[in-house]
Amino acid sequence: MKRVLITGAAGFLGSHLCDRFINEGFYVIGMDNLITGDLKNIAHLFKNEHFEFYHHDVTKFVHVPGNLDYILHFASPASPIDYLKIPIQTLKVGSLGTHNLLGLAKAKNARILIASTSEVYGDPLIHPQTEYYYGNVNTIGPRGVYDEAKRFQESLTMAYHNFHGLETRIVRIFNTYGPRMRLNDGRVIPAFMGQALRGEDLTIFGDGNQTRSFCYVDDQIEGIFRLLMSDYHLPVNIGNPNEITINDFAKEIIQLTGTDQKIVYKPLPENDPLQRQPDTSLAKKILNWEAKTDRKTGLQKTFDYFKTLSAEELQKEEHKDFSKYIY
């Protein structure tokens, strides 16, 4: 059997990747230090003879016995509520963690795919964003710890590709949503749906005219899988180019949830991008991929998942003690 290591395996995207590779007939090794991941996302895999889990922080030396064919590096805080609480760990997982995993890939002669992000474009000056745009990022702003960790990660990956001849892939992930998102992770879809389920008003930061485009998780996983199996080593955007303002999106959520919440406005966070829309023509050309799930269908599936959460889970805030991870 082909063997694959997936870091960040207990997270939102990581857990869906574990499912996909199990279904594709791979032996899957999941790895996560559980800072933001949750074992419940992969609990259904624990009895599977083709899955094993390592509780480990990839910023420390990574050892996996036996051969590896592929590595997917998805370990990283990915929400502002996380990387503003653990900025040092966010920088370390993008730098030291990536270095450790590139070294492991070199030692195992494995192909490695690095999860980058649309945040490498910062608050973009071109629209939509193509892979050839270098970005507009504030290196010392509050979001810089995440943006620059990912930009450095891309540079380090390309250095290993060019200097060592390592088989590398880089996916730039745009806003993705679906089941297993954390309800209180600060991103707009779980935030709006959580507020609707609790009967609270929907909170928009800024005037609501900023735009986002949302890709359903199944489409995102398909794009990642195709990129890994391709022979293309430069960055590729994977996302849904169907753009919507946050104001219009809030109205969609109210209609979906059947609630009568009001919309309240608060100040826009510093360096929050005003436009986010991927140009996915390269993915279509190279991978024959494009997002297929319409937003109404994807949002309904996501809302159905959140409705299964207990009342306690709906009410709780994120109070995890991050202090032990800042070093």
- Residues labelled as active-site residues: 146
Question: Residue 69: which of 108, 11, 118, 21 has the closest Cα?
Answer: 108
Paired strand residues for 3: 27
Cβ proximity of 214 and 298 under 8 Å: yes
Which of 172, 30, 168, 61 is closest to 112 using CA atoms? 168
Collapsing DSSP to helix, strand or coil, 65 comes out as: coil
């250095």: which residue's tokens?
A: 159
Q: Tell me which DSSP letter residue 117 carries.
A: E
Distance CA 188, CA 175 (A): 10
Say how far residue 223 (Cα) sits from the centre of its chain: 13
**Alpha-carbon span 14 to 323, nearest angstrom:** 24
Between the alpha carbon of residue 158 and those of residues 98, 175, 272, the distances in Å are: 12, 24, 28
For tokens 């608060």, name the residue. Answer: 266
Tokens standing for 120? 């490498």
